[in-house]
Each structure stands twice: as structure tokens, then as C-alpha cells.
Amino acid sequence: MFEVLAVVGTVLIAAAILKHHRDRNGKFRVGEDTVKTPVQEQRGETQDGRLQAVPRDSRFAFVTAFGLNPRALKELHIYASAGTLDEFPSRVKELLKRLYANGYAVGEEIMALLHHGRPLEEGEAIYVAVVRDQGTNAQRTVAFLDRYRIC
């Protein structure tokens, strides 16, 4: 069930981002920072031919502040348009509310945004991270608010 939610959420965020990055003529804007950053799993081969995860650099270390393991990170989606929750695309609002209802919206700032009218300021972003637990192989999606980073 949660995997379906993760897939639906990813599609909804991608659609909202694509809609947001079109200019008046319907063409995509080029040369701007990306809002959605998929994280591809990096793998290398050991001498005996087995696949092994390649350590990542420190770009994603900030997710540890929200209880996530950067090595288990599979996808990272970023929503960085300033405004209140009412101004967000409906799909983004629905995803955030659904993640909150399931206990996967973490941090004081995202709680204030969802329930106390706190706006998303310039220089901040909502991150939606998809992680896979290596022990159970279960996938989960977590949302949090932090300063905007170009990953």
C-alpha cells in the first residue's frame, strides 16, 4: 500500500514541478536550477564480480538530521516555490497531508507549514525523500522542510 502511495506521490510531484517550470508559451525553461532531483543508485564491482554500493559524497548528508540514512536514499524530490500551503499545487498539498497522516512528515517546520499557516520562505524547500530500509527492503517516503540546496 505504501509503495503505491510513494509511486503516486512521485508522479504528482513530478507533474506539479513540470507545470511550474513552463513559461508562458508552454515551453520548459532552460538553464534554471532543477526542482526535482532523482538520485540514481551508484554501484561498482568488487574483484569477485559482485555488485557493491559505491559511497556517496556529502551532498545528501543533510538528510541524517531527519532520521534518514543517506546511503539508503533512492529518490529526492524538491519543492521550492515560496508561499503558503493554500498556494501550493493541489497534488503537493494532498501528498503532504497524506504523509503527515501516516506519520511521515517530520520536523517542526513542516508541522508549522501544514497546521499553523507558516509560509515556505525564499531559500527554503520541501524535500520528499524515498528511502529503502536495507534490512527489511521496505520502501518509505518522508517529507521535511529545510533550507534549499542544489543537490
Question: What is the tens place of the pLDDT at every residue in 85-132?
Answer: 999 999 999 999 999 999 999 999 999 999 999 999 999 999 999 998
Neighbour count for residue 88 (Cβ, 10 Å): 19
Phi–psi pair at 137, nearest 5 degrees: 65, 20
The pLDDT value given to residue 35: 44
pTM of full prediction above 0.75: no
Q: What is the band of 5 on the pLDDT scale with cuts at 50, 70, 90? A: low
H, E, C per residue of 66-89: HCCCHHHEEEEEEECCCECHHHCC
Question: What is the tens place of the pLDDT at every residue in 30-89?
Answer: 444 444 444 444 444 444 444 444 345 678 889 899 999 888 888 889 999 999 999 999
- Give percent above pLDDT 70 in the chain: 62
Phi–psi pair at 48, nearest 5 degrees: -90, 10
Q: Is residue 111 a contact partner of residue 44, using CB atoms and an 8 Å limit?
A: no
Is pLDDT at 137 greater than 80 in this prediction? Answer: yes
Is pLDDT at 11 greater than 90 in this prediction? Answer: no
- Helix (H) / strand (E) element for 92: namely helix 90-101
Is pLDDT at 27 greater than 70 in this prediction? Answer: no
Is pLDDT at 140 greater than 80 in this prediction? Answer: yes
- Helix (H) / strand (E) element for 110: namely helix 108-115
